[in-house]
Homo-oligomer: A and B are copies of this chain.
Amino acid sequence: MRSSHQAGRLAQPPSPITDDGDEEHFCRSCSFSSACNAVGQGKPELNALQCLVEHVGPYRSGQYVFRSGDPFRAIFAVRSGTVKTSVVDRDGREQVLGFYLPGEVIGLNAIYPDQFPCDAIALETAQFCRFLFPAMSALASRVPVVQQHLFRLLSKELGAVTLLAGDHSADERMAAFLTDLSERYAARGFSGISFHLSMPRGDIANYLRLAAETVSRVLSRFRSQGLIEIEGRELTISDPQGLRKLGQNLLPD
């Protein structure tokens, strides 16, 4: 995000993330950009932002960003890589809650319980902007657009989870999942037609509440129907409209 670009250079402890010259573009496509931009415009608030944003990472695949039960101190915007969040219930079964791409924000569901209610695990090497929440919250009081932004992020996530909670067929779920991923990549400036699935089939299955075998079968079927091309984790969407139509009951619009 734009502001972290600025704040990052000024941060007292040398940031573990080296500037790659692409930060400006990254910040524009980040979920927080409007908030950061709003802050960046007023000099005094810029100071506040320096205090509350921090670059952290990299986390290697499989590493925990936070764990269920950790005290809630900050929310995280993904700078690079991919993250999954999940909970494990009393009998040890994992439940994947979501996948997060660059520019997206994790940790909002920790506000109410005041501790993280889920684990966050890197699926690929990942880096983050870390926003201390008390400071963020205080800032939100002074800068209305930041407050509004947080409300919207929360409300948006609420809508997303709600859709997944419906009862839908394996085909609908899968089509909606791929379309959603595609549109999220596109929104961040990546290709929405051809991309790499950063998570194993088992995680997709778990997230969609299906068995891994079912995911495999549905993908094979989609391929034979000419909707997608897929080889390992490399995906190309051949018929975006067809795919979207299949998943329409699960998708916004």
Contact = CB atoms under 8 A, between A and B. Distances in A.
A249 interface: yes
A137 interface: yes
A113 interface: yes
Contact of A159 (B113, B141, B159): B113
Contact of A150 (B108, B117, B151, B209): B151
Contacts of A158: 108-109, 112, 154, 157-158, 161
A90 interface: yes
B155 A110 contact: yes
A125 interface: no
14 contacts: A89-B249, A95-B166, A109-B158, A111-B155, A112-B156, A117-B159, A137-B151, A140-B141, A147-B147, A150-B151, A151-B151, A151-B154, A154-B158, A158-B158
Interface string A147-171: 1101111111111011011110000
Contact of A166 (B141, B147, B151, B209): B209
A22 interface: no
A38 to B, nearest CB: 13
Given A90-B249, A141-B144, A167-B209, A155 B108 contact: yes
Interface of A: 89-91, 95, 97, 108-113, 117, 137-138, 140-142, 144, 147-148, 150-159, 161-162, 164-167, 209, 248-249, 252
B137 A144 contact: yes
Nearest to A113: B159
A64 B89 CA distance: 37
Given A95-B166, A167-B209, A148 B159 contact: no
Contacts of A157: 158
A108 B140 CA distance: 18
A166 B165 CA distance: 8
A137 B141 contact: no
A59 to B, nearest CB: 23
A73 to B, nearest CB: 15
A89 to B, nearest CB: 4
A138 to B, nearest CB: 7
A193 to B, nearest CB: 25
B90 A248 contact: yes
